[in-house]
Amino acid sequence: MKKKKLRTAIYPGSFDPITNGHLDVIKRACKIFDNVVIAVSVNVSKNPLFSLEERVKFISVATSNLSGIKIDVLDGLLVEFAKKISAQAVIRGLRAVSDFEYEFQMALMNRKLYPGLEVIFFMPSNKYAFLSSSLIKEVASLGGSVKEFVPPIVEEALLMKFRKEGDTNYYI
């Protein structure tokens, strides 16, 4: 009897921080793939709010109830990482037409560099179509509630980051 080959997908991103939109994509990817590797990218050109270690911890806690999840650090070319872990696909989210051009260019470049790697685009659920980590950080920094948009561990971390000294009435 031939052993079934496990299907592995990579979901790369900075996840600064992970949102419920990201989690929606992860849960849906878990229905299709045996293994989903969440690859937290190290991007020196970005100035992340949370450290790499914090982002990995947030993802670990937020996905602890899912099976087939692995979290890893991506520090280099995605296609080299994909080859190293024998991934068949890359998962990407598309929220709007504005995401498409960039994602399309990246998908074509990755295909050129590694023809065996497929890119699969997930449309977000309607309730998360507008979400981005940048928007979450902006709302939180201005004192707005992000409770319904992020996992509890992220909400608490954002509160701590943006709480002003002596402020007891945060999220009025």
For residue range 48-101, what is the model confidence (pLDDT) as tens digits?
A: 999 999 999 999 999 999 999 999 999 999 999 999 999 999 999 988 777 888
Which residues neighbour 63 within 8 Å (Cβ) at sequence distance 6 or greater? 23, 26, 38, 69, 71
Q: What is the pLDDT of residues 92-129, one digit of tens each?
A: 998 877 788 888 999 999 999 999 999 999 988 889 88
Residue ranges of domains in the chain: 8-129
In whole numbers, what is the pLDDT of the chain averaged over residues?
A: 90
Q: 147 in helix, strand or coil?
A: coil
**Would you state the torsion angle of the CA atoms of residues 114, 117, 118, 121, taken in this order, to the nearest 10 degrees?**
-90
Residue 117, pLDDT score: 94
- The superfamily (CATH) of domain 8-129 is HUPs (3.40.50.620)
Q: What is the pLDDT of residue 6?
A: 75
Model pLDDT, residue 22: 96
Active site residues: 22, 46, 95, 133
Produce one character per residue of 76-94: b if its CB has 16 or more CB atoms within 10 Å, e if not.
eebbebbeeeebbbbbbbb
List of residues 6+ apart from 47 with CB closer than 8 A: none
The tokens describing 92, both together, are 């990407």
Distances (CA, A) of 13 to 57, 141, 162: 15, 22, 23
pTM: 0.89
d(CA 29, CA 122): 9
pLDDT at 102: 87
For position 108, what pLDDT does the model report? 92
Element (H, E) at 18: none
